[in-house]
Amino acid sequence: MVDSLLLIFMIIGILGIGSQWIAWKFQLPAIVVMSIAGLLAGPILGIINPEQAFGDLYRPFISIAVAIILFEGSLNLNFKEVKGLGKPVFRIVTWGAFLAWILGSLTAHYVAGLSWAVAFVIGGIFIVTGPTVILPLLRQSKLKPVPAKILKWEGIIVDPFGALLAVFAFEIIMFLSADSRDASALLLFLLASLFAVVLGYIFGKVIGWAFETGHIPEFLKSPAMFGAVITCFTIADEVKHETGLLAVTAMGMTLANMGISSIKDMRHFKENISILLISTVFILLTSSLTVDTLMDVFRPEIIGYVLLMLFVVRPVSIFLSTIKSGLSLQEKTLVGWIAPRGIVALTVASYFANVLEDEGFEGASLVTSLTFALVFSTVCVHGFSIGWIAKKLNLSSQGKPGAIIVGSNRFSVALAKVMEELKIPVIVVDSSWDRLHRARRAGINHTHGEVLSEQMEYTIDFTPYDYLISATEYDSYNALVCSTCIPGFGRKNVFRLPRQTRSGDHLENIDNTIGGKELFTPPEGIEELKYKLKAGYVLRKTSITEQYTCEEYLRNKHKETVLLFVLKHSKQIEFFAEGNETTASAGDTIVSLTPPSKEFNKIKEKLEENKKASN
């Protein structure tokens, strides 16, 4: 076993981030990969045991990590956005969550054999599905809008409240199970909880005010936020244990509803920190498991508990809470099946396992095994089945990866038109109704709005779209859109039109790391592309076959042809862009902007062939 703390930190970092990369590369659930990595490094091979190595620092680190993860989740709870979510979402996050808590607690007591206290605490934790798990699954499975919206918002809304439900359940059960019930102890907890909420509200208001008024410079905003979260959590937790989670949740919700202009930057920072912490904490927890704890996973009562949670508790709570909600049977079935528990459930449950064990509650020693079994099972089962079951229920929008085109003009509409002809999902977005008239007239799917506005995240269903193309007349705006959207789409999927040399913003010296990749071969600015279309150039689709290869096409094409993209036989899209080695093989289709002369020659040849055939 490694004894050096420095080496242990290095191993945890490599395993955590390496697992995230492998999961991204091979489209696997990240928690599954991290679980395997942690188990191999910990109980199986015995390379590291962080709990033993870190000693007294282990629990405080886990607590702070959980606080930051919950804070990041609560930053998404904007009441204005939640209001318009509709009856199904409201019912699922209220009645559905309550039913899941009660049914899950009863199952934990009667099947897993846990005491009432432990059962109701973990029952509250396990209502959490969590955006850290569900959002990657939704991106991967490409569900239709209704089930995707329900699962997304259930994860976002319930995420911070599962831990808080566990806190309140723990304190109330502590009061009820005490030999001499002292109402003052419960009153003290309620007062401490009120203090935590007020503290979180004050911290949120103060930090938001400081950000908006410029009292904190841009380069210090992220560190200041990080420090404020830890301070808020620590103060509340020192006043009364377990109320720190309530304080950071209140702080995040306060900031989310203040309308702060820099909230998106804070969200990106917190997402990055959360990914780092999630990776680290998951490796810490799984590698600290003992062989005995791991073997407990295979106990009949734990297996029975997991099966009932999968096949009874979740479906029943969804079906009962969505009666007369307007959802179809297929939608209820899918939502009732998909409920992967993730890092929040595991970290919070591990946190409470120690607390419950210290208090001497019966069954507390099984909490970690039970949680790991449920988390690992749900992530594996739901992660690998969501795409299959969505197709079977006809709730999958699987097809060719789509594109969002920002800017409505002659070229962008023509590009969208040819994509629609190829059955590629496409939408044109513009903030001007006047410019959108081209898209409306062409019958192209379009929406009015500012793509940089947060509201667009809720106006557009981003599920069908893997690529973003910024194609406006303004080079600086294109660069800004791409830079803003890179975190959501990924750097390799965000593109902009080449900068204009004779007009536009004259950004010749702009850093090439700003914005997305420049499109097309050879690179042509928007004015040149619009001019060519006006002069009669056409967007042409050329099929590549065994007889007519890509090499032959490239040799024969007109020198003025602009190569746009290749639609692969596998339905993937490869754009001709800087840094891309785009090629085509048999079964692929090359889309290009072709001079009119070639079209005229082809028409002339066809007329002559028809004339000869008639003679």
pLDDT band at 10 (very low <50, low <70, confident <90, very high): very high
pLDDT, residue 7, reads 92
pLDDT one-digit tens code per residue, 527-558: 888 888 888 888 999 999 988 899 999 888 88
Cα–Cα–Cα angle for 123, 367, 89, rounded to 5 degrees: 25
Query: Which tens digit of pLDDT belongs to each residue from 447-486?
Result: 888 887 755 665 677 777 889 999 988 888 888 888 888 8
**What average pLDDT score do residues 89-100 get?**
88
Least confident of 162-176, 212-226, 584-598: 162-176
User: What's the pLDDT at 337?
Assistant: 92
Same-domain pairing of 518 and 464: yes
For residues 387 and 452, membership in a common domain is answered with no
Burial of 36 (0-12, 13-18, 19+ CB in 10 A): middle
Q: How far is CA 594 from the centre of its chain?
A: 39
- SS3 of 504-523: the string is CCCCCCCCCCCCCEEECECC
90 occurs within a structural domain: yes
What average pLDDT does range 88-98 have in this prediction?
A: 87
Percent of the chain with pLDDT over 70: 86
Within 113-182, where are the H helices? 116-125, 131-141, 145-177
**Which residue range forms the structural domain that includes residue 595?**
402-614
568 inside domain: yes
For residue 331, give the nearest of 64, 105, 88, 609 by alpha carbon.
88
- Please list, in sequence order, all residues whose beta carbon lies within 8 angstroms of the beta carbon of residue 68, skipping any fewer than 6 positions away: 226, 229, 230, 248, 270, 273, 274, 277
Domain CATH number, residue 48: 1.20.1530.20
pLDDT at residue 117 above 70? yes
Section 227-255 average pLDDT: 88
Pair (199, 263) in one structural domain: yes
Report whether 169 contacts 125 (CB < 8 A).
no
Which pLDDT value is given to residue 41? Answer: 92
Asked if residue 159 and residue 89 are part of one domain, the reply reads yes
Average pLDDT of the segment spanning 111-125: 86
Q: Are residues 330 and 447 in the same domain?
A: no
Does 397 reside within a domain? no
* Between residues 588 and 178, the one the model is more confident about: 588
* pLDDT for the residue 419: 92
**Is the Cβ–Cβ distance between 139 and 463 less than 8 Å?**
yes
pLDDT band for 206, please (50, 70, 90 cuts): very high
More confident residue, 607 or 556: 556
Question: Within this chain, do residues 498 and 358 fall inside the same structural domain, yes or no?
Answer: no
Whether 356 and 171 have beta carbons less than 8 Å apart is answered as no
Residue 151: per-residue pLDDT = 86
pLDDT for 325 beyond 90: no
CB of 117 within 8 A of CB of 361? yes
As given in the structure block, the two tokens for residue 485 are 């959207």
**Is 590 a residue whose pLDDT tops 90?**
yes
Whole-number pLDDT of residue 266: 61
Give the end of a domain, one of 366, 392, 418: 392
Question: Do both 388 and 416 map to the same domain?
Answer: no
Omega prior to 464 cis, within 30 of 0:
no
Let me know if residue 302 belongs to a domain: yes
Do residue 383 and residue 472 come from a single domain? no
By DSSP bridging, strand 562-567 and strand 573-575 are: antiparallel
- Short-list 320, 273, 252, CA closest to 91: 320
Residue 608's pLDDT is what? 61
Last residue of a domain, one of 347, 372, 392: 392
Q: What is the CATH number of the domain that holds 467?
A: 3.40.50.720
In a domain, 304, yes or no: yes
Same domain, 382 and 444: no
Mean pLDDT of 301-319: 93
pLDDT higher than threshold 70 for residue 259: yes
Determine phi and psi for 117, rounding to 5 degrees. -60, -50
pLDDT confidence tier of residue 506, bands split at 50, 70 and 90: low
Instruction: Please check whether residues 434 and 375 belong to one and the same domain.
Output: no
pLDDT class of 508 with cuts at 50, 70, 90: low
Widest CA span in the chain: 109
Residue at a domain's end among 359, 392, 425:
392
Number of domains forming the structure of the chain: 2
Same domain, 25 and 173: yes
Rounded-to-integer distance, Cα 356 and Cα 548, Å:
71
- Is the domain of 381 the same as that of 497? no
Q: In the prediction, which pLDDT does 394 show?
A: 86
